[in-house]
């Protein structure tokens, strides 16, 4: 079972990562953590290198934080850092191309308002992903 866990640094996305770690522990699921740094590829190429580095560092920090949940338990995990303007599109594409069986993600993230019950990234992935989607809240 291949599981994709999109993380954005929010507590809810870390809860999703914990859920995935449980699956790795009990069922031997192969987990990939993924974060999408907000940027347009074309602009990225023209951005000053220090801004690119900053973006990548922030993405890497988000991945490292989630990765700790796995390494702390000696569980294998992979990480992917992509750039894009609509994270749901990257997530949906990655799930399909990587032939993932399941996506585990948060119902909300770090960019939304507290009152929102289901964020736009979660809503789009639930609606359009080609595999099973588990939403953690």
- DSSP string covering 6-71: E--S-HHHHHHHHHHHHHHHHH--EEEEEEEEE--HHHHHHS-HHHHHHHHHHHHHHHHHHHHHHH
The piece of 15-23, 46-54, 74-82, 118-126 that touches Mg ion (CB under 5 A) is: 118-126
Among 4, 7, 92, 95, binds ligand ATP (CB under 6 A): 7
If one asks whether residue 21 binds ligand ATP (CB under 6 A), the answer comes out as no
Tokens of 76: 């294998």
Side-by-side strand order, sheet with 132-136: 78-84, 30-38, 2-6, 102-106, 132-136
If one asks whether residue 111 binds Mg ion (CB under 5 A), the answer comes out as yes
Decide which of ligand ATP, Mg ion, none touches 33; Cβ closer than 5 to 8 Å per partner kind. none
If one asks whether residue 69 binds ligand ATP (CB under 6 A), the answer comes out as no
User: What would the x/- binding string for ligand ATP be over residues 112 to 131, using CB under 6 A?
Assistant: x---x--xxxx---------
Judged by CB, which is closer to ligand ATP: 20, or 74? 20
- Please enumerate in sequence order all residues whose Cβ is within 8 A of that of 97, keeping only pairs 6 or more positions apart, or say none: none
Binding site for ligand ATP (CB under 6 A): 6-8, 10, 12-13, 16, 34-36, 87, 105-106, 108-112, 116, 119-122
Binding site for Mg ion (CB under 5 A): 109, 111, 119
């Amino acid at each position: 079972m291949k599981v994709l866990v999109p993380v954005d640094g929010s507590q809810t996305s870390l809860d999703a990562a914990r859920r995935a770690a449980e699956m790795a522990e009990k069922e031997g699921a192969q987990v990939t953590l993924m974060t999408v740094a907000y940027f347009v590829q074309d602009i990225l190429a023209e951005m000053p290198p220090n801004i690119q580095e900053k973006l990548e560092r922030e993405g890497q920090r988000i991945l490292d934080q989630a990765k700790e949940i796995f390494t702390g338990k000696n569980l294998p995990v992979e990480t992917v850092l992509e750039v894009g303007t609509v994270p749901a599109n990257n997530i949906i594409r990655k799930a399909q191309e990587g032939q993932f069986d399941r996506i585990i993600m948060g119902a909300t993230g770090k960019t939304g308002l507290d009152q929102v019950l289901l964020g736009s990234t979660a809503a789009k992935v639930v609606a359009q992903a080609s595999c099973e989607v588990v939403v953690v809240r």
